[in-house]
Amino acid sequence: MSGLFITFEGIEGCGKSTQTKLLAEYFRKNGEDVFLSREPGGPNISEKIREILLANENSEMLSNTEVLLYAASRSQHTGEWILPELKAGKIVICDRYFDSTTAYQGAARKIDRKMIDTITSFATFGLKPDITVLIDLAVSVGLARISPKDADRLESESLDFHKKVREGFLQIAKTEKRFIVVDGSKSIAEISNEIINKIEKRLKNEDK
């Protein structure tokens, strides 16, 4: 296997971070070379932009500024880390990628989808994930897993905002064949097994 790009998406508190690690662990046990990362973040420049994006003190941030900062972080991340790792033949697993921008800044912030797609294409050098796992979960359940005192700027948004984000993800999943949707209300082990089984099935079908 070489150059496989898998991304994870979902609302806050859906369990993405846990599942990315479990999938990476599974592939490594099977002898695969895995590179694990997250967004916003990754390389030093991207992590610094992450701090700006998620800081509660930046509540005055405009939606246009927000989408451009995410794109800037993603561009550095993709060019410095993701593309070279894929070129080296690794399985790259990323906790969030550009679908988050479509859901958060598009569906929830109401920024024009065509504008987002144009910015995204430029920022990612045209790269798209091979497989995207959407962990779907009721917003009330996901937010209940986050302590209010620890919530960042995005996590602190209204319930209505997060409902729009969830709806945005589900709409994308309906139109993009690369998506695998799993029920985030199940146990960690059940979710992990379902993800692994669906990915393996997808890869086998592609090999035929």
pLDDT over 70 (residue 1): no
- State percent of the chain over pLDDT 70: 98
**What is the model's pLDDT at position 205?**
85
C-alpha–C-alpha distance, residues 144 and 132, integer Å:
25
CATH architecture of structural domain 4-207: 3-Layer(aba) Sandwich (3.40)
CB distance 13 to 143 below 8 Å: yes
C-alpha–C-alpha distance, residues 149 and 164, integer Å:
23
pTM, rounded to two decimals: 0.95
**What is the model's pLDDT at position 208?**
57
pLDDT digits (tens, 9 = 90+) for 41-51: 999 999 999 99
pLDDT over 80 (residue 100): yes
Per-chain mean pLDDT for the chain: 96
pLDDT digits (tens, 9 = 90+) for 122-172: 999 999 999 999 999 999 999 999 999 999 999 999 999 999 999 999 999
Q: How many CB atoms lie within 10 A of CB 188?
A: 11
